[in-house]
């Protein structure tokens, strides 16, 4: 199977996967109590609790809607699109998504695309730093540990990365704030935000330093637990490759140790590391960021998705899910193509 035929086949297989994710989520959403209509009714009645989200009566009028006229309730249902049957709403959603129209937020009264673009810089900042630091530090560290297997360096670095892995990012973030952000000890870093007020008026160098000043603690809290897995995976992959016959042959030919490690062993040891790229990439951008964003008051995609679920802002929930799933599927395809770049012996027909 050639390259383009394989890519075409994989893209076709993405369609049922994407439809399955959207369909299951849409069905679940239909049974979640306290939807946007109930919440708006509660606001109109001056309530903050969840009484408006109780089950409907036999006449189909919400108990929480007592005091709201049937005409007002019908207008609310029409406003949020719930006057249409579920199947029609589902088909309309798919038609919009096919045109990359993610809808309009019930709560923010803005296009979902606009909300995502506004929150994207925060998630890109956390995700890129997390991803780059993890791999740029973990891979060389894992190689060094493999070369010095059993030494004091190997043992001490294993303890360090495992301790970092054992400490939750949220707990580490609280500790960093207490120690270095004016909690009890030092006030070296700011408490919140990605940049300072008036950042757009700063000089280029001042913008860079201000951004790095704000992002340091969140990145440390988000990244500290990510080193252990990649470091140990790199070390074990190198140890396995170093013991193979072709390494002994390369050394017997008189090749330097650096050439053997970085040209022969690294290329073969990268194959199991490439398999972790999609999960690491997507996880760095969209997972495990909610607590960090909340702690450091960073308005990112994690916080946006959480607020959308709590407020039953269904266009944001479905739109962000559609976008994240699409990115995840294409990232997995890129990772599969990377296998062949790392090891040409792998054939496209063998990839699944």
pLDDT at residue number 73: 67
Please provide the average confidence, as pLDDT, over all residues in the chain.
77
- The more confidently predicted of residues 266 and 100 is 100
| Residues 171, 288 within the same domain | yes
| Residues 177, 276 within the same domain | yes
| Residues 88, 220 within the same domain | no
Is residue 220 a contact partner of residue 137, using CB atoms and an 8 Å limit? Answer: no
pLDDT at residue number 58: 33
| Residues 45, 129 within the same domain | no
Q: Please state, in angstroms and rounded to a whole number, the distance separating the CA atoms of residues 336 and 184.
A: 49
| Residues 58, 167 within the same domain | no
Q: Please state, in angstroms and rounded to a whole number, the distance separating the CA atoms of residues 55 and 112.
A: 29
Percentage above 70 pLDDT, the chain: 76
Q: Which CATH number goes with the domain that contains 253?
A: 1.10.3720.10
pLDDT at residue number 258: 75
For residue 321, the enclosing domain spans 112-350
Host H or E run for residue 71: helix 70-79
pLDDT(301) > 60: yes
- The more confidently predicted of residues 56 and 179 is 179
| Residues 174, 49 within the same domain | no
| Residues 178, 38 within the same domain | no
> For the whole model, what pTM was predicted?
0.69
pLDDT at residue number 289: 67
Q: Please state, in angstroms and rounded to a whole number, the distance separating the CA atoms of residues 306 and 288.
A: 12
| Residues 177, 309 within the same domain | yes
107 is a domain residue: no
Output helix, strand, coil percentages for the chain, rounded to the nearest 5. 70, 0, 25
221 is a domain residue: yes
Q: Helices H, strands E: what count in the chain?
A: 16, 0
248 is a domain residue: yes
pLDDT at residue number 52: 37
List, for residues 189-237, the tens digit of each pLDDT value: 877 777 777 777 888 888 888 888 888 888 888 888 778 888 888 888 8
Structure tokens at 252: 């017997």
- The more confidently predicted of residues 198 and 56 is 198
- The more confidently predicted of residues 124 and 153 is 153
| Residues 69, 149 within the same domain | no
pLDDT(344) > 70: no
Among candidate residues 93, 124, 143, the one where a domain is terminated: 93
| Residues 63, 144 within the same domain | no
Angle at 221 between CA 161 and CA 158, to 5 degrees: 0
140 is a domain residue: yes
pLDDT at residue number 87: 86
List, for residues 57-68, the tens digit of each pLDDT value: 333 444 444 556
| Residues 191, 85 within the same domain | no
Q: Which of 26-30, 115-119, 124-128, 338-342 comes out lowest in average pLDDT? A: 338-342
pLDDT at residue number 72: 64
């Amino acid at each position: 199977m050639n390259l383009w035929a394989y890519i075409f086949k994989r893209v076709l297989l993405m369609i049922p996967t994407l439809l399955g994710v959207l369909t299951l989520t849409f069905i679940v959403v239909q049974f979640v109590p306290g939807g946007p209509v109930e919440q708006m009714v509660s606001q109109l009645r001056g309530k903050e609790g969840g009484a408006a989200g109780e089950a409907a009566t036999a006449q189909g009028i919400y108990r929480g809607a007592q005091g709201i006229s049937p005409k007002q309730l019908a207008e609310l249902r029409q406003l949020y699109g719930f006057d249409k049957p579920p199947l029609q709403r589902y088909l309309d959603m798919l038609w919009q998504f096919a045109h990359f129209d993610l809808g309009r937020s019930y709560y923010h009264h803005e296009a979902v695309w606009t909300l995502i673009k506004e929150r994207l810089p925060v998630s890109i900042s956390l995700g890129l730093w997390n991803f780059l630091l993890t791999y740029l530090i973990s891979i060389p560290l894992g190689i060094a540990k493999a070369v010095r297997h059993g030494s004091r360096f190997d043992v001490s670095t294993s303890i360090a990365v495992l301790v970092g892995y054992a400490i939750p990012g949220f707990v580490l973030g609280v500790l960093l704030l207490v120690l270095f952000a004016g909690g009890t000890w030092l006030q070296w870093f700011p408490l919140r935000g990605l940049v300072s007020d008036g950042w757009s008026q700063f000089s280029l160098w001042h913008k860079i330093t201000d951004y790095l000043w704000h992002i340091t603690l969140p990145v440390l809290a988000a990244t500290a637990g990510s080193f252990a897995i990649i470091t140990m995976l790199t070390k074990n992959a190198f140890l396995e490759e170093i013991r193979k016959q072709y390494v002994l042959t390369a050394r017997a030919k008189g090749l330097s140790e650096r050439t053997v490690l970085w040209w022969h062993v690294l290329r073969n040891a990268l194959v199991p590391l490439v398999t972790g790229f999609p999960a690491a990439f997507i996880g760095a951008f969209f997972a495990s960021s909610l607590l960090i964003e909340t702690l450091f008051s960073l308005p990112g995609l994690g916080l946006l998705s959480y607020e959308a679920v709590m407020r039953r802002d269904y266009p944001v929930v479905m739109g962000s899910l559609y976008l994240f799933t699409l990115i995840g599927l294409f990232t997995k395809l890129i990772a599969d193509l990377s296998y062949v770049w790392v090891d040409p012996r792998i054939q496209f027909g063998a990839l699944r």
